[in-house]
Structure 1
């Protein structure tokens, strides 16, 4: 079931008792490169953490000297006390008992996620790590996902995946209104976003799940999909042996056990990209990070959506959800079984589409997907 955010969790109010230390592994664009110190809602891990009064950015690591220097130069005095290491191994080995790293953000490229997450999980009893915030795409195969989930359960570490558009304040606000019945009973959710299925389109796949299950718990039963086959031809020879290219989504259909139908169009709609239109028995809601929050009744007249919360860094909100969960709160959104399902849908879409022709939907894939070993070069 999709969890909700506390109204206080993205306000800079009273710090949590025993403010959690956070370490970041990888200092690329999504970790540190996007956003700026001056922005109110910076779109990167570092910016979100620095905006929060509930977490402490303790240490960072990157193998690139240029990335390390860029981090220190860009964020300046705000990160003067942050410890900087040249590898994940060095960072983890430096941890002391009196300064545990309760949360570790992992922002390396997709094909290296499995190795780094395993290293963090195996070190968790010594480092005190209780939560991992993992960039998408989480894994290059379902077998990798299964193994990470098994190790994380044994180490008692929660893994949250950064389907970051999920945490936009106005999106969470609209999710709550849909849950409360603003548009009646939800029956259809249509999302818009194409390109790479696991690395990019997965943001909107998560939005479809978020609103399909907003009212009634359920699970994905089956997936059918179609991809742009020319995207596969253009990728040949650009990846290591043993991997397949990551296709671009054309269309995706999801059957949910609660009766809701989900559809993802692999292109922009009239509201742009990264958004969903949520259809209910009494109206419709449009929700997305970059889409104007709107709702209409069954006759097309605007509905009152109340006071829309001010913008905030989605990374601040996500990290604060994780921090609150470590202090006895609900699990953060996009954690454990939630991201497993989004990832499962993505791999099922690839499985379905590669069985299809150039212009028709592939075969129906029931979930869980039987093929756990297909390896996709998910490098977004």
Structure 2
């Protein structure tokens, strides 16, 4: 089997400390995902906070710790580097790696960059080299979400007509996953209208949460309702089809499939009946699946399931939402550049 070298830049929650949470399935952070993959050697990690070095060595005692990415890359040549810093630092980190290393894959946390302008700049710079930039839109790695995609693509429940969403924690944080899934399953969002701003913990990161309406490809109507996660956490999606329904519950841990049948009360009408229930989908590690996918890309066995275009797409939806709210809840077109 091939042996590849990896490094992690940023040892916050997704970089390292999610795996200290006993409720999370391991691996839930990049360090452990690399440590547990037999095809990868984790050769180094970095964070500006020296205390994170001590935390790193609880999981990976032999892995060298650095307080700067520049120092790490002077001492190590790597095939894969995970960028898990705050989003405001993603672009500068990616640019440095592209300009100063022969790294083959940059595996970057969401949101990929901080603005549409940065997204356009990044896409131009990536045309000049051979390094692959793969965003971690983590639900794409989950087999349950992949099955939802397959059922929709095959038209198993007829035409997708309406989408209802309940979410918490920001149009950039949770919104990165939400907009990517809607794009992946339904198509491009063509219009948005912010209706109300809701307080959530993402406000501390200047990431607003809106209740909003949206339109996909001019014919799929959608409504997303934001909730305050200090009361409870929500990520739920209902997909309504001409001949059935798919429900995503408990942050994607459960998926319920409904088919149409004769109504049990009213002659001449139809109703939805539960056909299949899938649960504990998050017992598989999305990050573990993602790292396996990176290995297969390097081995030439797979093409990237998640691309730069997918990674920047949520930004093109978030900015018109902000503009809509600031323009007294106007309808705004989503324009992809």
Pairwise same-fold verdict (TM > 0.5): yes
CA distance in 1, matches of 2:208, 2:167: 13
Q: Is the 8 A contact 1:220 1:254 kept in 2?
A: yes
Give the corresponding residue for 1:142: 116
CA distance in 2, matches of 1:294, 1:162: 25
Q: TM-score, normalised by structure 1?
A: 0.75
> Whose strand proportion is higher, 1 or 2?
2
Deviation, structure 1 residue 107 = 0.8
Q: Does 1:297 align with 2:259?
A: yes
CA distance in 1, matches of 2:255, 2:198: 34
CA distance in 2, matches of 1:198, 1:37: 24
Q: Which moved more, 1:146-155 or 1:49-58?
A: 49-58
Q: Does 1:70 align with 2:32?
A: no
Give the corresponding residue for 1:197: 171
Q: Is the 8 A contact 2:317 2:334 kept in 1?
A: no
Q: Is the 8 A contact 1:48 1:316 kept in 2?
A: yes
Aligned in 2, Cα 1:64/1:321: closer, same or farther, shift over 3 Å? same
Q: Does 1:156 align with 2:137?
A: no
Q: What CA deviation, in whole Å up to 9, does each residue of 1:5-34 have, x standing for no partner?
A: xxxxxxxxxxxx423322110101111111
CA distance in 2, matches of 1:190, 1:268: 17
Q: Give the aligned length.
A: 322
Q: Within 5 A, what are the aligned runs for 1:249-268?
A: 249-256=210-217, 259-267=219-227
Q: Does 1:167 align with 2:167?
A: no
Deviation, structure 1 residue 163 = 2.6
Deviation, structure 1 residue 80 = 3.6
Q: Does 1:188 align with 2:165?
A: no
Q: Does 1:225 align with 2:194?
A: yes
Q: Is the 8 A contact 1:254 1:261 kept in 2?
A: yes
CA distance in 2, matches of 1:278, 1:35: 32
Q: Within 5 A, what are the aligned runs for 1:1-380?
A: 17-36=1-20, 40-73=25-58, 75=59, 79-95=60-76, 100-124=77-101, 128-213=102-187, 219-228=188-197, 245-256=206-217, 259-267=219-227, 273-287=234-248, 289-298=251-260, 299-304=271-276, 311-356=283-328, 361-368=329-336
Aligned in 2, Cα 1:301/1:227: closer, same or farther, shift over 3 Å? same
CA distance in 2, matches of 1:182, 1:276: 18
Q: What CA deviation, in whole Å up to 9, does each residue of 1:311-349 have, x standing for no partner?
A: 221111122223322322443333211122122111221
CA distance in 2, matches of 1:161, 1:343: 13
CA distance in 2, matches of 1:321, 1:142: 28
Instruction: Flag structure 2 segments of 5+ consecutive residues without an equivalent.
Output: 261-270
Aligned in 2, Cα 1:49/1:147: closer, same or farther, shift over 3 Å? same
Kindly indicate whether structure 1 or structure 2 has the higher relative contact order, using CA contacts under 8 Å at least 6 residues apart.
1
CA distance in 2, matches of 1:210, 1:336: 14
Deviation, structure 1 residue 362 = 2.3
Matched position secondary structure for 2:127: helix
Q: TM-score, normalised by structure 2?
A: 0.84
Deviation, structure 1 residue 252 = 4.1
Q: Which moved more, 1:312-321 or 1:62-71?
A: 312-321
CA distance in 1, matches of 2:255, 2:276: 11
CA distance in 1, matches of 2:69, 2:255: 40
Matched position secondary structure for 1:284: strand
CA distance in 2, matches of 1:168, 1:185: 24
